[in-house]
Amino acid sequence: MTRIVVDSTCDLPESRMRELGIEMVPLQVHFGDEAFRDKIDLDEDAFFKRLEKATQLPTTSQPSPGDFEEVYGRIPEGEPIVSIHIAHQLSGTIQSAKLAADAMPGREIHIIDSGNTTWAAGLLALEAAEAVQAGKDLNEVITHVEGLVPRVRLLAVLDTLKYVVMGGRVSRVQGAIGGLLRVKPMLLLVDGVIERMPPARTWGQAGQKIVQDIEAHGGADRIAVIHAKAPEAGQTMKKTLEDSLGVDGILEGTIGPVIGTHSGPGAVGVAYIAKQAG
Amino acid sequence: MSSPAPAGDTRTAITRCDGVLFRRSLMGSLIWLTANRDKVNQLNVFPVPDGDTGTNMLLTLESAIEEMGPDENSDLSQVAATVAHGALMGARGNSGVILSQVLRGFSQGVGSHASVDCKQLAHAFEEATAVAYKGVTKPTEGTILTVARKVSEAAVVKAQDTEDIADLIQSVVSAAQRAVDDTPSQLAVLREAGVVDAGGYGLMVILEGFLKTVKGQEIPTTSRASRAPAAPKETAKVGAHALETPEEGWGFCTEFLIERPAKAFDVVRAELTPMGNSAVIVGDDQLVRVHIHTLDPGGLIAHATSYGPLQKLKVEDMTRQHHDILAQEPPDADQVPGPAAAINGHSATGQVGVVAVAAGEGFRRIFEELGAGVVEGGQTMNPSTEDLLEAVTASSADEVIILPNNKNVIMTAQQVSSLSDKAIKVVASRTVPEGISALLNLDPAAGLEQNSAAMASALKGVQTIEVTHAVRSTSVNGLKIRNGDMIALVNGKITRAGKDAREVMDGALEGLKIDAFELLTIYAGAEVPDTEAEEVVGHVREQFPKLEVQLQRGEQEHYPYILSLE
Interchain CB distance below 8 Å, A197 and B443: yes
pLDDT, position B351: 75
Residues 59-118 of A with CB under 8 A from B: 89
Q: Is B369 within 8 Å of A204 when comparing Cβ atoms? A: no
Name every chain A residue with its beta carbon within 8 A of the beta carbon of B552. Answer: 180-181
Contact: B344, A192; criterion CB under 8 Å = yes
Task: Compute the C-alpha angle A211/B429/B44, nearest 5°.
Answer: 150
Distance CA A86, CA A118 (A): 8
Q: How far apart are the first and last CA of chain B?
A: 64
Collect all residues of chain A within an 8 Å Cβ-Cβ radius of residue B340: 188, 195-198
Residue A240's alpha-carbon distances to B47, B312, B322, B459, in angstroms, are 43, 46, 34, 22
Using CA of residue A97, residue A102, residue A107, residue A111, what is the dihedral sign?
positive
Do residues B440 and B475 share a domain? no
Same domain, B119 and B202: yes
Distance of residue A122 Cα from the nearest chain B Cα, in angstroms? 22
User: Final residue of a domain: which of B405, B427, B459?
Assistant: B459
In angstroms, the CA A70 to CA A82 distance is 15
Query: What is the distance in angstroms between the Cα of B562 and the nearest Cα belonging to chain A?
Result: 15
Digit-by-digit pLDDT tens for chain B (566 residues) are 444 444 444 567 899 999 999 999 999 999 899 889 888 988 865 667 666 888 889 999 999 999 998 888 999 999 999 999 999 888 888 888 899 999 999 999 999 999 999 999 999 999 999 999 987 777 889 999 999 999 999 999 999 999 999 999 999 999 999 999 999 899 887 887 778 999 999 999 999 999 998 988 766 665 445 544 444 333 233 333 333 322 333 466 677 778 788 888 888 888 888 887 666 666 667 677 777 777 777 778 878 888 887 776 766 655 433 233 222 233 332 222 222 222 322 233 447 899 999 989 999 988 988 888 999 987 668 899 999 999 999 988 889 999 999 988 999 999 998 889 999 999 999 999 999 999 988 876 688 999 999 899 989 889 999 999 988 787 777 788 888 899 999 998 889 999 999 999 999 999 888 888 989 999 999 999 999 999 999 999 998 988 889 999 999 998 999 999 99
Q: In what order do the strands lie in the sheet with A3-7?
A: A22-25, A3-7, A81-85, A109-113
Contact assessment for residue A106 and residue A72, using Cβ atoms and an 8 Å cutoff: no
Interchain CB distance below 8 Å, B440 and A171: no
- Residue A278, chain B, CB below 8 Å: the answer is no
Q: What's the CATH code of the domain at B313?
A: 3.30.70.120
Looking at residue B326, its pLDDT comes to: 29
Whether residue B85 is contained in a domain is answered as: yes
In this structure, what are the phi and psi dihedrals at residue A179, rounded to the nearest 5 degrees?
-60, -45
Choose the mutation target among A172, A189, A194, A201 for the interface with B, i.e. most B CBs under 10 Å: A201
Q: In chain A, what residues touch B521 (CB-CB under 8 Å)?
A: 181, 201
- Cα(A77)–Cα(B29) distance, rounded to whole angstroms? 97
Residue A198 scores a pLDDT above 70 = yes
Model pLDDT, residue B55: 87
Give me the pLDDT at residue A161, please: 73
User: pLDDT band at residue A243, thresholds of 50, 70 and 90?
Assistant: very high
| Gap between the Cα atoms of B486 and B476, Å rounded | 13
Counting Cα atoms < 13 Å in the Cβ hemisphere of B546 gives: 7
Positive or negative, the Cα torsion across B205, B208, B210, B212? negative
Looking at residue A170, what is its pLDDT?
Answer: 56
The CA-based angle A220-A225-A229, given to 5 degrees, is 165
Minimal Cα–Cα distance from B51 to chain A, Å? 28
**Interface contact A171-B441, CB threshold 8 A:** no
| Whether residue B404 sits in one domain with residue B289 | no
Task: Report the alpha-carbon distance of residue B36 to residue A85 in Å, rounded.
Answer: 76
Chain B nearest CA to A236, separation (Å): 13
CA distance B488 to chain A (A): 23
Tell me if A205 and B365 make a contact (CB, 8 A cut-off).
no
d(CA A249, CA A264): 27
Determine contact: A50 vs chain B, CB below 8 A. no
Distance from CA of B437 to the nearest CA of A (A): 9
The model's confidence at residue A12, banded by pLDDT at 50, 70 and 90, is very high
Give the whole-angstrom CA distance, residue A261 versus residue A90. Answer: 13
User: Which letter, b or e, does each residue of B211-242 get, where b requires 16 or more Cβ atoms within 10 Å of its Cβ?
Assistant: bbbbbbeebeeeeebeeebeebeebbbbbbbb
Return all residues near B495 (Cβ < 8 A) that are at least 6 apart. Answer: B477, B479, B488, B489, B507, B508, B511
Same domain, B20 and B79: yes
> B345 contacts in A (CB within 8 Å)?
89, 193
Q: Give the model's confidence band at A32: pLDDT under 50 very low, under 70 low, under 90 confident, else very high.
A: confident
Give pLDDT, residue B11. Answer: 65
What is the residue extent of each domain of chain A? 3-27+60-150, 152-274
Question: Are B369 and A177 within 8 A, CB to CB?
Answer: yes
| Contact at CB, A195 and B440, closer than 8 angstroms | no
User: DSSP string of A86-115?
Assistant: S-TTT-SHHHHHHHHHHT-TTS-EEEEE-S
- Do B407 and B420 belong together in one domain? yes
Residues B430 and B471 in one domain: no
Mean pLDDT of the region A107-111:
96
Contacts of B348 in chain A (CB under 8 A): 171, 173-174, 196
At residue B254, the pLDDT reads 75
Q: Which of B344, B366, B521 is facing A193, going by the closest CB pair?
A: B344
Domain A152-274 annotated CATH 3.40.50.720: no
Set of chain B residues whose Cβ sits within 8 Å of the Cβ of A202: 518-519, 548, 566
Four-CA torsion B360, B366, B371, B375, nearest 10 degrees? -10
DSSP states of A226-265 as a string? Answer: EESS-HHHHHHHHHHHHHHH-----EEEE--HHHHHHH-T
Q: Name the A residues in 161-180 with CB < 8 Å from any B CB.
A: 169-171, 173-174, 176-180
Of B343, B349, B437, which is closest to A170 when you measure between CB atoms? B343
Q: How many domains, in total, are found in chain B?
A: 4
Chain A positions in Cβ-Cβ contact with residue B436 (cut-off 8 Å): 181
Range of the domain at B552: 463-565
- The answer to whether A202 contacts B552, with C-beta atoms less than 8 Å apart, is no
Question: Which of these three, B219, B239, B267, is where a domain ends?
Answer: B219
CB-based contact B449:B399 (threshold 8 Å): no
Cβ distance A205 to B566 less than 8 Å, yes or no, reads yes
CB B549 within 8 A of CB B539: no
| Helical spans, DSSP H, in chain A | 14-20, 44-53, 65-74, 93-102, 118-133, 138-148, 162-166, 172-175, 203-216, 231-245, 257-263
Count other C-beta atoms under 10 Å from residue B503's C-beta. Answer: 15
User: What does the alpha-carbon distance between residue A114 and residue A192 come to, in Å, rounded to a whole number?
Assistant: 8
Shared domain check, B390 and B271 = no
Chain B residues whose C-beta is within 8 A of a chain A C-beta are 338-345, 348-349, 365-366, 369-371, 436-437, 440-445, 454, 461, 518-519, 521, 548, 550, 552, 566
- CB of B288 within 8 A of CB of B261? yes
pTM above 0.90, yes or no: no
3-state secondary structure of B186: helix
Q: CA of B552: which chain A residue's CA is closest?
A: A181
Q: What percent of chain A has pLDDT over 70?
A: 95
As a dihedral over the C-alpha atoms of residue B407, residue B412, residue B418, residue B420, rounded to 10 degrees, the angle is -100
Contacts of B519 in chain A (CB under 8 A): 201-202
Whether residue A201 and residue B342 make contact (CB cut-off 8 A), yes or no, is no
Yes or no, beta carbons of A181 and B366 under 8 Å apart: yes
Provide ipTM, 2 decimals.
Answer: 0.71
Which domain-ending residue is among B261, B296, B317?
Answer: B317
Phi, psi for residue B374 in degrees, rounded to 5: -110, 130
d(CA B476, CA B235): 4
Fold equal for A3-27+60-150 and A152-274: no
Q: What is the pLDDT at residue B271?
A: 87
Contacts of A204 in chain B (CB under 8 A): 518
CATH number 3.40.50.10170 is the correct assignment for the domain at A3-27+60-150: yes
Q: Answer whether residue A156 shows pLDDT above 50.
A: yes
Distance, in angstroms, between B548 CA and closest chain A CA?
Answer: 9
Residues B368 and B261 in one domain: no
- CATH number for the domain spanning B467: value is 3.30.1180
- Same domain as B472, residue B365: no
Looking at the structure, do residues B414 and B519 belong to the same domain, yes or no?
Answer: no
CA distance A70 to A65: 9
Burial track B116-141 (b if 16+ CB lie within 10 A, e otherwise): bbbebbbbbbbbbbbbbbbbbbebbe
CB contact under 8 A, A202 and B440: no
CB pairs under 8 A between A and B: 80
Of B421, B425, B487, B476, residue with least CA distance to B450: B425
Query: In CATH, what number is assigned to the domain containing residue B379?
Result: 3.40.50.510
| Domain assignment of residue B338, yes or no | no
CA distance B142 to B182: 7
Q: Within a 10 A sphere around the Cβ of A212, how many other Cβ atoms?
A: 11
- Do B159 and B187 fall within a single domain? yes
Q: How far is A242 from chain B (nearest CA, A)?
A: 19
Partners of A196 on chain B (C-beta within 8 Å) are 340-341, 343, 348, 444
Are B10 and B200 in contact by the 8 Å Cβ rule? The answer is no
Q: How many CB atoms lie within 10 A of CB A249?
A: 7
Using CA atoms, how far apart are residues B98 and B132, in angstroms rounded to an integer?
Answer: 6
Residues in chain A: 278
Report the chain B residue with the minimal C-alpha distance to residue A188.
Answer: B340
Q: B348 and A193 in contact by Cβ < 8 A? A: no
Co-location of B455 and B467 in the same domain: no
B61 burial type by CB count under 10 A (0-12 exposed, 13-18 middle, 19+ buried): buried
Partners of A186 in the β-ladder: A157, A197
Separation between Cα atoms, residue B148 and residue B150, nearest integer Å:
6
